């Protein structure tokens, strides 16, 4: 049974309750002062406490998606091995289809009505990193009217360690986009849902680590190239955005500010503004203070030219520790960068807060990304061949909320 299985959770709760009842029942019998009774009381208390903490931990993990498997929990998860059966796109890049996921959207079983989530394995040619991703294709992707259209795309990142499945099972990104499109508040956008931990179990903070995983290269080059070679996605920065929470939010801001030729728009939900150095990250910068500063976003604002990008940051006046830094980031943003914010009166570093922010954030992002339409061939007028045909009127565009 998997770590996130409901059976595992139910079993843990039942064991905790059973041990509590047994402790109450046996306690009078263990009230003697001999060493056997003392050891019995210690054993019962220890077993009860451990079972209780295990149940609470499983409940928290199922709610917030910290770990996806037992191997992930105990740090035994390894990067995917070498795969031989790849599908090759027109540009020669490789992306392997792993299957499709069920989506809880009305008409979700029909792609033309609910869209589709495809699970793929992205193989990085330059970074030499392979990582799974969930690609949400909106209903319009399968409709004849949009058959020649290239769609904008948004990379959607979790925090660390996070699970990519939580992005559509807990945070409802596809469901939210579907609703926004239905109400003409967002244009159809392909969502590439991942976790930033592409070299597990290490927290790389989307950094090209000297002598280590080249995570920044994976996201800014390999991922975009792979997805655009397999799906109808534009390849310009104007076609690409990135949104994430916590560590994913820091990655979104950093990669957009450092690589405006890759991403034009970023959203950070409760994001940090520099990478932490702790047991999960190791030495990200190999002792190079200059490299550390280059990845410090507040430092970059004062020491590097402002890139022409769109940035949205979120925080809460009460409940989030990044509030003051978020205000500082907003104040330091210079043209041609453009900044917007969502500041709640109260919130926290959790799914409930991010679910309150995601609809407005996606609507804002949809208003800044651009789709590539197929070029229309020039019409040639032949006066001797009779009257010209009536002009074809294009379908109305989706309204973008800016």
According to DSSP, the residues that pair with 120 across neighbouring strands are 97, 133
Comparing 150 with 70, the larger pLDDT belongs to 150
Q: What is the pTM of this model?
A: 0.73
- DSSP secondary structure code for residue 200 in this structure: T
CA-to-CA dists, residue 174 to 62, 138, 191, 388, angstroms: 20, 8, 8, 44
C-alpha dihedral over 365, 368, 374, 376, to 10 degrees? 150
pLDDT band at residue 9 using 50, 70 and 90 as cut-offs: confident
Q: By percentage, how much of the chain surpasses pLDDT 70? A: 83
* Whether the predicted pLDDT of 52 surpasses 50: yes
Mean pLDDT across 94-113? 79
Mean pLDDT across 248-255? 98
Q: Look at residue 106 in the predicted model and tell me its pLDDT.
A: 76
Mean pLDDT across the chain, nearest whole number?
84
Locate 315 and state its tokens: 């925080």
Q: How many helices (H) and strands (E) does the chain have?
A: 13, 10
Mean pLDDT across 378-400? 38
Q: Look at residue 391 in the predicted model and tell me its pLDDT.
A: 37
Q: Look at residue 302 in the predicted model and tell me its pLDDT.
A: 95
Mean pLDDT across 208-233? 96
Residue 350: phi and psi, rounded to 5, are: -155, 170
Locate 158 and state its tokens: 């979790």
Locate 279 and state its tokens: 């047991």
Helices 173-182 and 351-366 pack at an angle, to 10 degrees, of 40
Q: In this structure, are residues 124 and 130 in contact, taking their beta carbons and an 8 Å threshold?
A: yes
pLDDT band at residue 78 using 50, 70 and 90 as cut-offs: very low
pLDDT band at residue 23 using 50, 70 and 90 as cut-offs: confident
Q: Look at residue 369 in the predicted model and tell me its pLDDT.
A: 96
User: In this predicted structure, which of 55-69, 73-87, 264-278 has the lowest mean pLDDT?
Assistant: 73-87
Looking only at the bridges linking them, the beta strands covering 310-318 and 338-346 are parallel
Distance (Å, rounded) from C-alpha 351 to C-alpha 166? 10
* Whether the predicted pLDDT of 330 surpasses 80: yes
Q: Is the bond into 392 cis (omega within 30 degrees of 0)?
A: no
Distance (Å, rounded) from C-alpha 70 to C-alpha 85? 28
Count Cβ neighbours within 10 Å for each residue of 136-161 and write b for 16 or more, e otherwise. bbbbbbbeeebeebbbbbbbbbbbbb
Mean pLDDT across 358-366? 95
Those residues with Cβ within 8 angstroms of residue 135's Cβ, 6 or more apart along the chain or in another chain: 117, 118, 119, 120, 190, 191, 192, 193, 227, 231
Distance (Å, rounded) from C-alpha 239 to C-alpha 372? 8
Q: Look at residue 70 in the predicted model and tell me its pLDDT.
A: 60
* Whether the predicted pLDDT of 379 surpasses 60: no
Mean pLDDT across 204-219? 96
Helices 35-64 and 6-26 pack at an angle, to 10 degrees, of 150
* Whether the predicted pLDDT of 8 surpasses 90: no
* Whether the predicted pLDDT of 298 surpasses 70: yes
Mean pLDDT across 73-82? 42
Comparing 162 with 98, the larger pLDDT belongs to 162
* Whether the predicted pLDDT of 394 surpasses 80: no
Q: In this structure, are residues 205 and 214 in contact, taking their beta carbons and an 8 Å threshold?
A: no
Comparing 32 with 72, the larger pLDDT belongs to 32
* Whether the predicted pLDDT of 183 surpasses 60: yes
pLDDT band at residue 168 using 50, 70 and 90 as cut-offs: very high
pLDDT band at residue 20 using 50, 70 and 90 as cut-offs: confident
Q: Look at residue 69 in the predicted model and tell me its pLDDT.
A: 55
Mean pLDDT across 148-155? 95
* Whether the predicted pLDDT of 398 surpasses 70: no
pLDDT band at residue 62 using 50, 70 and 90 as cut-offs: low
Alpha helix (H) residue ranges in 27-130: 35-64, 70-73, 111-114
């Amino acid at each position: 049974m998997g770590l996130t299985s409901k059976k595992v959770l139910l079993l843990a709760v039942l064991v905790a309750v059973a041990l509590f009842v047994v402790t109450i029942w046996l306690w009078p019998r263990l009230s003697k002062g001999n060493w056997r009774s003392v050891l019995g009381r210690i054993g019962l208390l220890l077993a009860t406490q451990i079972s209780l903490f295990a149940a609470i931990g499983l409940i928290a993990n199922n709610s917030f998606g910290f770990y996806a498997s037992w191997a992930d929990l105990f740090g035994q998860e390894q990067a995917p091995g070498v795969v031989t059966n790849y599908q090759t796109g027109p540009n020669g890049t490789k992306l392997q289809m792993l299957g499709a996921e069920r989506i809880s959207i009305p008409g979700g079983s029909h792609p033309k009505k609910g869209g589709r989530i495809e699970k793929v394995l992205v193989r990085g040619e330059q970074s030499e990193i392979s990582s799974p991703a969930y690609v949400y294709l909106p209903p319009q992707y399968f409709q004849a009217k949009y058959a020649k259209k290239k769609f904008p795309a948004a990379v959607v990142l979790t925090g660390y360690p996070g699970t990519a499945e939580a992005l559509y099972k807990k945070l409802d990104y596809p469901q939210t986009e579907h609703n926004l499109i239905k109400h003409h508040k967002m244009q159809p956008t392909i969502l590439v849902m991942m976790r930033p931990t592409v070299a597990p179990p290490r927290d790389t903070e989307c950094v090209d680590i000297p002598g280590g995983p080249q995570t920044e290269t994976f996201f800014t080059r390999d991922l975009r190239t792979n997805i655009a070679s397999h799906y109808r996605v534009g390849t310009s920065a104007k076609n690409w955005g990135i949104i994430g929470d916590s560590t994913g939010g820091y990655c979104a801001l950093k990669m957009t500010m450092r690589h405006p030729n890759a991403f034009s728009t970023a959203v950070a939900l409760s994001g940090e503004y520099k990478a932490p150095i702790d047991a999960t990250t190791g030495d990200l910068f190999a002792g190079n203070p200059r490299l550390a500063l280059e990845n410090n976003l507040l430092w970059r604002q004062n020491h590097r030219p402002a890139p022409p990008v769109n940035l949205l940051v979120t925080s809460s006046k009460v409940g989030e520790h990044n509030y003051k830094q978020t205000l500082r980031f907003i104040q330091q943003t210079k043209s041609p960068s453009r900044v917007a914010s969502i500041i709640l009166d109260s919130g926290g570093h959790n799914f409930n807060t991010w679910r309150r922010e995601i609809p407005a954030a996606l609507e804002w992002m949809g208003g800044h990304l651009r789709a590539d339409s197929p070029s229309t061939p020039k019409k040639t007028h032949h006066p001797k061949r009779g009257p010209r045909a009536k002009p074809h009127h294009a379908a109305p565009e989706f309204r973008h909320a800016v």
